[in-house]
Amino acid sequence: MTTGAVPGASSMRAGARLDLTRLLNPRAVAVVGASRDERRIGGQPLKILRETAYRGGVYPVNPGYPEIGGRPCFPDVIAVPRPCDVALVAVSAPRVPEIIEQCGAAGIPFAVVLSAGFREAGEAGAQLEARLKASAARSGVRVVGPNCIGLMNLADRVYLGFGAGFRNPRLKPGPVAFVSQSGGFAFSVVGLADFEGIGFNYIISAGNEADISTLDLVADFLERDDVEIVVTYLEGIADGTRLREIGVRALELGKPILIWKVGNSEVGRAAAESHTASMTAAYTLYRTAFEEGGFVEIADVHDMVDAARAFQGRRLPKGRNVAVITTSGGSGVLIADACDRHGLALPRLGSETVQAIAPVAPSHTSFANPLDLTAQITGDADSFNRITEHVLADPRVDQLVLRYGAVQGAIGESWAKRLAEIVRGSDKPVLVAWSRVPDRSEPSLQILERNRIPWLLTPTRAAFAAGALYAFARKRTALAERRARGGKRLVARQPLELPPGRSTLSEHESKACLASYGIAVTREVLLSPREVAALEQPPVALPLVVKIDSPDLPHKTEAHAVRLNVNGLAELKEQAAAALAAALAYRPQAHVNGVLVSEMARGVEVIIGAINDRYFGPVVMFGLGGVLTELAGDVAYRFAPFDVATAREMILELRASRLLTGYRGRPPVALEALAEMLSRVSLLAADHADRVAEIDVNPVFVDEARAVAADALIVLRD
């Protein structure tokens, strides 16, 4: 990437990386459970290895045969004469753990287990898979699968697997790696992408991931020099934190991960769970990880093709501004709409640019963006290119999308040649909306491909590709900025009173935890009923709030244990007694700490929440109070911990943030105080993730002067 690496230390420990070189390019392969029947899972790999002219050694293993197809066959892997890097295992499921142990004894570092009948097949299979795992751990053999269909290394022509996908001799290599949780589906996707011109160096089916996970594979591919783009089809992963680390690493390396995440709807999630028994965290958490890291979310083959082509251009835009040049007004309108949908902007061209291009442009050109040069210029590639060069040089322009009407024949060839020179003279992405039936023998298309100028089939797809480049660039910048800020904490780790065995804290206890982290809470006192009765004046300013403080009443309002707007001493005493009675009526066994008498805070109501997801760890949620958050889903998420600048971003991400920044003449609220509170909550959630399961600060009141937590609930786990 011309943009260079993101500064700052790598987030990945170098030693932790699993190097898959010997798996992907083995010197020799043992096929365990080899069969003479070439239709069987044990027979197909031998046939495929032969037909693809695999250059390493091939050793069939099956005690039942002396030879298969002229090759000597061995009774077990230990008998194989020379060291193999991979055992391809196709024996029946119950025999797999033992085979893995034998591989260990034979010094084979990797096994690819094609056999099915494990976790996907019910309880007995799951037990077998646990045994397989244990065998792998004991023997040191690293296992792909079970229940996978294998892998392909197209650069070195290594085909290890079975099924229709391995019978496609026309697949091209290319700087893309594909890791899939669904083997059969992956190969159909690869076939279609290949048809659209995208080559893959590696394709691998992760199967049940008993040992090597999808994320292990993605992480390794990211580090390989012959991989520029990783594609992954995911139903669910167990290690959200790892997913996040890999996303950051992708940004550091400038290599995108095109992520096709499925199982996101209720019905899709159920299907995913029954398909591969995948771990299915809420889609929101995946989206939060995708938005933070170097991921590009895709939903179909053409998204993959378009994003892959865009990133193969190896350029990223510096900002959101796109210039569009066309020879068809209609497609200009279309690209403008699509750019808008993808978060891109179309700035006006600079006056220097307009002056420079005016002498070359057709008469009646209106020098807008999109710049419609009309069919009048179609025959004049030279003028089109001169204009392109000026527009590309415009400092307001971060990337360029163009659609030229004469990409074919001699004019097309001269257009593409000169365009390639222009592109070489710039570091901005230039995307071509090809807009014709693609003919790979077309010289202009070949020139574009040779020069890594991304071409996209249609204007709509070109705008999607430009949007994907911009989003990736934006996230790289955000990462660099986060690192430059140094992740300064507002407060050091604080010890908290989190009693063992307890599952909830009372409001007062919860607020004490918040206060330890410097979070402003309402002024309040906790009094015994006797102390309340003895009060001679209200302990805080009127009007005040009376609540019953108890860890056993997490839903105080429901228990009628909250009395707002209490306006005098007599009312205070009366309401305290009534609230206590109501609370005990609601939950007679409740342990009551006392009566909490608080100031009544005012301002705009917001909500801060944190959950500690079993896969992703602590994540903080921010929304406005009231129905907007719940009904309109207007909520922002960030993984904890995060700094104040990130919190500010989070606040401004809400559609409703205008309510906070001076809506309809209201004064703007103390955004900075609110952002600090969010960051402090994130620190608390992260520091105490071992005990804190949930934090609910609801409501928080923000006014012009401050943000203050008016209620809080901390839920614990053991």
Residues 170-199 that bind a copy of itself (CB under 8 A): 180-186, 188, 191-192, 194-195
Which is closer to a copy of itself, CB of 102 or CB of 327? 327
**Hunting for tokens 């904890």 — which residue is that?**
640
Looking only at residues 283 through 322 of this chain, which bind a copy of itself when binding is defined by CB under 8 A?
299-302
Alpha carbons 544 and 698: distance in angstroms, whole number? 17
Interface characters, 87-106, with a copy of itself (x: CB under 8 A): --------------------
- Which residues have C-beta within 8 Å of that of residue 250, sequence separation ≥ 6? 222, 230, 256, 257, 293, 294, 295
CB of 328 to a copy of itself, least distance (A): 4
Count of chain residues binding a copy of itself (CB under 8 A): 76
Establish if 410 lies at the interface with a copy of itself (CB under 8 A). no
Alpha carbons 177 and 220: distance in angstroms, whole number? 10
CB of 301 to a copy of itself, least distance (A): 5
Which is closer to a copy of itself, CB of 584 or CB of 656? 656
Residues 108 and 76: beta-carbon distance below 8 Å: no
Phi-psi region of 444 (alpha: psi -120 to 50; beta: other; left: phi over 0): alpha
CB of 524 to a copy of itself, least distance (A): 26
Looking only at residues 459 through 518 of this chain, which bind a copy of itself when binding is defined by CB under 8 A?
460-461
Looking only at residues 222 through 241 of this chain, which bind a copy of itself when binding is defined by CB under 8 A?
233, 235
- Which residues have C-beta within 8 Å of that of residue 657, sequence separation ≥ 6? 651
Residues 20 and 273: beta-carbon distance below 8 Å: no
Between β-strands 430-433 and 455-456, what pairing exists: parallel, antiparallel or unpaired?
Answer: parallel
Choosing from 275, 474, 489, 560, the residue that interacts with a copy of itself (CB under 8 A) is 275
CB of 332 to a copy of itself, least distance (A): 5
* Stretch of residues binding a copy of itself (CB under 8 A), selected from 19-27, 105-113, 263-271, 709-717: 263-271
CB of 357 to a copy of itself, least distance (A): 16
Interface characters, 354-393, with a copy of itself (x: CB under 8 A): ----------x-x-x-x-x--x------------------
Alpha carbons 189 and 168: distance in angstroms, whole number? 13
Give me the amino acid identity at 94. P
Kindly give the residue spans of alpha helices, DSSP state H, lying in 438-544: 443-450, 459-485, 507-516, 529-534
Looking only at residues 14 through 53 of this chain, which bind a copy of itself when binding is defined by CB under 8 A?
none
Choosing from 396, 436, 452, 691, the residue that interacts with a copy of itself (CB under 8 A) is 436
Looking only at residues 536 through 595 of this chain, which bind a copy of itself when binding is defined by CB under 8 A?
none
CA 89 to centroid of chain Cα atoms: 33
Residues 586 and 553: beta-carbon distance below 8 Å: yes
Structural tokens at position 186: 């992956």
Choosing from 10, 274, 355, 661, the residue that interacts with a copy of itself (CB under 8 A) is 274
Which strand (E) or helix (H) includes residue 544? strand 544-549
CB of 457 to a copy of itself, least distance (A): 7
Choosing from 225, 266, 536, 718, the residue that interacts with a copy of itself (CB under 8 A) is 266
Structural tokens at position 711: 């209620």
Three-class DSSP labels, 398-458: CEEEEECCCCCHHHHHHHHHHHHHHHHCCCCCEEEECCCCCCCCCHHHHHHHHCCCCEECC
* Stretch of residues binding a copy of itself (CB under 8 A), selected from 13-21, 247-255, 272-280, 412-420: 272-280
3-class DSSP state of 110? strand
The dihedral of CA 573, 576, 582, 587: what is its sign? Answer: negative
Looking only at residues 655 through 694 of this chain, which bind a copy of itself when binding is defined by CB under 8 A?
655-656, 658-659, 663
- Residue among 31, 222, 33 at smallest CA distance from 108: 31
Looking only at residues 139 through 168 of this chain, which bind a copy of itself when binding is defined by CB under 8 A?
163-164
Residue 53: CB atoms within 10 A of its CB come to 8
CB of 116 to a copy of itself, least distance (A): 9
Establish if 121 lies at the interface with a copy of itself (CB under 8 A). yes
3-class DSSP state of 74? strand
- Residue among 175, 253, 237, 200 at smallest CA distance from 6: 253
Between β-strands 544-549 and 635-639, what pairing exists: parallel, antiparallel or unpaired?
Answer: unpaired
Structural tokens at position 661: 């920044």
Which is closer to a copy of itself, CB of 140 or CB of 330? 330
CB of 454 to a copy of itself, least distance (A): 17
* Stretch of residues binding a copy of itself (CB under 8 A), selected from 56-64, 308-316, 453-461, 570-578: 453-461
Structural tokens at position 707: 């943000």
Which is closer to a copy of itself, CB of 197 or CB of 350? 197
Alpha carbons 117 and 565: distance in angstroms, whole number? 64
CB of 531 to a copy of itself, least distance (A): 34
Which is closer to a copy of itself, CB of 302 or CB of 547? 302
CB of 378 to a copy of itself, least distance (A): 8
Which is closer to a copy of itself, CB of 559 or CB of 683? 559
**Hunting for tokens 């007679």 — which residue is that?**
588
CB of 45 to a copy of itself, least distance (A): 16
CB of 268 to a copy of itself, least distance (A): 4
Give me the amino acid identity at 426. S
Looking only at residues 60 through 89 of this chain, which bind a copy of itself when binding is defined by CB under 8 A?
none
CB of 261 to a copy of itself, least distance (A): 9
Any idea how long the chain is? 718
Looking only at residues 618 through 647 of this chain, which bind a copy of itself when binding is defined by CB under 8 A?
627-628, 631-632, 634
Which is closer to a copy of itself, CB of 437 or CB of 570? 437
The C-alpha angle 127, 132, 134, rounded to 5 degrees, equals 95
Establish if 435 lies at the interface with a copy of itself (CB under 8 A). yes
Which is closer to a copy of itself, CB of 123 or CB of 225? 123
Choosing from 35, 213, 458, 612, the residue that interacts with a copy of itself (CB under 8 A) is 458
CB of 625 to a copy of itself, least distance (A): 11
CB of 257 to a copy of itself, least distance (A): 18
Give me the amino acid identity at 545. V
Choosing from 45, 146, 207, 332, the residue that interacts with a copy of itself (CB under 8 A) is 332
Which is closer to a copy of itself, CB of 84 or CB of 189? 189
Residues 388 and 381: beta-carbon distance below 8 Å: no
Which is closer to a copy of itself, CB of 91 or CB of 505? 91
CB of 303 to a copy of itself, least distance (A): 9
Residue 46: exposure state from Cβ atoms within 10 A (0-12, 13-18, ≥19):
buried
Which is closer to a copy of itself, CB of 229 or CB of 334? 334
- Residue among 609, 675, 688, 614 at smallest CA distance from 642: 675
